Amino acid sequence: MSKLKEHAAPILIMLLLMVLAFHEAPSHSLLINWDDQDYITKNPAIRGFTLQNLKLAFTSYYVGNYAPVQIVSYMLDYSLWGMKPSGFLSANLAYHFLSGVVLYFLLIRQGFWKWGAWFGSALFLIHPVQVESVVWASQRKNLLAMLFCLLAFHAWLGYRERKGKGTRVWYAASVLLFILALLAKSVAVIFPVMLILYDVLIPPVRRRVGDHADKIPFLCAALAVGILAIMTQVPDHGGGRVNYPDNLALIPTTMLPVLASYLAKLVWPSPADLCVMYFPPTRFSIDAAVMISAGLAVCLVLLGVYLYRKKPACFFWYGLFFLGLLPVSQIIPLVTLMNDRYLYFPMVGVAGVTAYLFTAVQKTGWSPRLSRIAVCLALPLLVLLAHTSYVRGKVWQDSISLFSDAVIKVPNQPDPWSRLAEGYVSIGNLVAAQAYYERSASLGELDNEAKFNLAQIYLDRGEFTKAHDFINNLLAADRKFKEAQFFLGEYYYRIGAFHDAEGQLLSYLRGDPDSVAALMTLGQVYVMLGRHDTAREYYARAVGTGGGTPTLYYAMASLESIDKNIDLSLAYLHRALRLGFNKYVYLQQDPSLENVRRDPRFGALVSRIPR
């Protein structure tokens, strides 16, 4: 207990720095795009611990990742907090802080000075490049993989340092924790190499091939998950793996400047230079940036050789930085060349090197007073970094804020504009959404989802010719693109070609019988065709599939008003209003509600609607 008290002050200061950096994160929203919808908001598998949900977690891919531990962690969040964003984001903070504490004790275990271990661990916790991994709910996989890797390494040290029967328990714990890390994120495949590096460098040194037979289970698990990740990261599963370039020389010429950019962000992490999207250019020749970056790489190699020979304990952590970058260095080509989250694992190496340097200086004979002065001088730097992380974290409060920042920093790229447009679609601002989609289209080809959304906007705004052009564009790209088939039916409905709309929508529903939007639109078609009983059937089907939306209940109220079923019309209107229907002008001017408007109960019902 006395030893734990000795570490209370460093851990408390780390917690306070975390609060300074991330105290606003729990008040953020989940993103309406950028993976949160696939992992959380539209993922039925996270909604509580059931056998069906657990089966889905362990048999499904999400955005190209096989990460069942991540999905199970969301089940826990849902069980505790429901769908409140604060629950998911607070859990992210907790996992990240736990990793920082585990890392702190790992550095202490390596014999580093307490305050050196504190500085390194605090740097890991609050450095601005960590913001993306911490405040983005979908990056839970990064946090869990890190936590389990650090715990697995502690267990490995327990196995390595002990003799007798107890070693088996520590060894088994290390293997199990490593498997959990792999099942959170495949980046954990670097762990067996980390163990080999440690055993080769840190006394008692183990350099014979036979000494590393105990790594075989780790290597086998890493190999299996690595192969699975390569298979699942294809675009068909939502992953980001791409083909190798025809000229393999493009990989080093492109990635060497990326390495230099990473190092620059570590040294000078200005919020103005951090972004959710980076677009480093593919470099087809050796230009000045490549030459400077190559020179930097040579210096890093020479430094590594020196550390390997003279300071092997420091080289272990130095090597971990580059080992952490290997999975995202285009050895397996990925569509995204650079991301802040790719530095989450390398930051462990930065923490270790920092702790080593503090300890080395402290061992030169610092007095306790000088040590306290050094800590006091280090604290303002950490506070400044925590404040920088706080500023950067505010950008992640919602999709509109995030991609508004991105379009400022990369204004000539279409994807950020398209993502920003999606954010405005989500809040019903179709004017802004249309403008941003059109800006995106002016910079490059829109993806199918963006074309789909833009076609919907054109339909909603009555720009039917533009809508028809986009629908045809979608169908030309893929005749099996179901959303385009649905929109063709909606287009026919909007222009009054009701029989064409009926045929198109019935065809669409044969492939997707539970589409609420198609069922509702087909109900509206039958209203226009005078087949009211058939319309009721399709409205009822839409409600039965979980589509009890304000707009649907409003449509049902309109139908019953036309047929003078006033009580039923008022009941449906009441449901629509309770669910958030607030278009006052519709209620007052829609001719289909003429009959129900005559009833005195109508005025009392709609009086609560803000005008």
Q: What is the mean pLDDT of the chain?
A: 92
Structure tokens at 345: 């694992």
pLDDT at 369: 78
Count of other CB atoms within 10 angstroms of residue 168: 11
* Alpha helical stretches, state H, 311-367: 312-325, 346-362
pLDDT at 209: 87
pLDDT at 2: 58
N- to C-terminal Cα separation, the chain: 64
pTM (whole model) above 0.85: yes
Asked if residue 605 has pLDDT above 70, the reply is yes
DSSP 396: G
Question: Which residue, chain included where needed, has tokens 């706080």?
Answer: 390
* Most confident listed range (77-91, 353-367, 593-607): 77-91
pLDDT at 480: 53
Average pLDDT over residues 174-203: 96
pLDDT at 461: 84
Residues in the chain: 611
Backbone dihedral angles phi then psi of residue 185, each to the nearest 5 degrees: -160, 140
Note the pLDDT tens digit of each residue in 382-437: 999 999 999 999 999 999 999 999 999 999 999 999 999 999 998 889 999 999 99
Q: Which of 235-239, 437-441, 558-562 has the lowest mean pLDDT?
A: 235-239
Cβ neighbors of 208 (< 8 A, separation 6 or more) are none
3-state secondary structure of 65: strand
Asked if residue 241 has pLDDT above 60, the reply is yes
Note the pLDDT tens digit of each residue in 435-490: 999 999 999 988 878 888 888 888 888 888 888 888 887 777 665 566 777 888 88
pLDDT at 87: 96
Q: In 3D, which of 8, 18, 156, 177 has the Cα closest to residue 96? A: 18
Domain spans of the chain, in order of start: 2-395, 548-611
DSSP 42: T
pLDDT at 449: 81
Residue 157 CA to residue 159 CA, distance in Å, equals: 5
Structure tokens at 310: 């003279």
pLDDT at 476: 74
Average pLDDT over residues 78-97: 96
pLDDT at 383: 96
Average pLDDT over residues 205-222: 92
Alpha carbon of 210 to those of 174, 213, 214, 215, 216: distances in Å? 20, 6, 9, 10, 11
Note the pLDDT tens digit of each residue in 37-61: 999 998 999 999 999 999 999 999 9
Residue 386 CA to residue 502 CA, distance in Å, equals: 59
Asked if residue 152 has pLDDT above 90, the reply is yes
The residue among 369 and 36 whose pLDDT is bigger is 36
Note the pLDDT tens digit of each residue in 292-304: 999 999 999 999 9
The amino acid present at 591, given as its one-letter code, is: P
Average pLDDT over residues 235-244: 82
Alpha carbon of 467 to those of 227, 350, 376, 502: distances in Å? 43, 52, 63, 18
Asked if residue 124 has pLDDT above 90, the reply is yes
Q: What percent of the chain has pLDDT over 90?
A: 71
Structure tokens at 79: 């069980």
3-state secondary structure of 238: coil
Residue 510 CA to residue 108 CA, distance in Å, equals: 64
Category of 437 on φ-ψ map: left (φ > 0), alpha (ψ -120 to 50) or beta: alpha
Question: Which residue, chain included where needed, has tokens 């006395």?
Answer: 2
pLDDT at 577: 87
Asked if residue 608 has pLDDT above 80, the reply is no
Average pLDDT over residues 247-256: 93
604 confidence band (pLDDT: 50, 70, 90) = confident
Question: Which residue, chain included where needed, has tokens 């531990």?
Answer: 69
Q: What percent of the chain has pLDDT over 70?
A: 98
Residue 213 CA to residue 206 CA, distance in Å, equals: 11
Radius of gyration of the chain (CA): 29
**On the CB side of 53, how many CA atoms lie within 13 Å of its CA?**
20
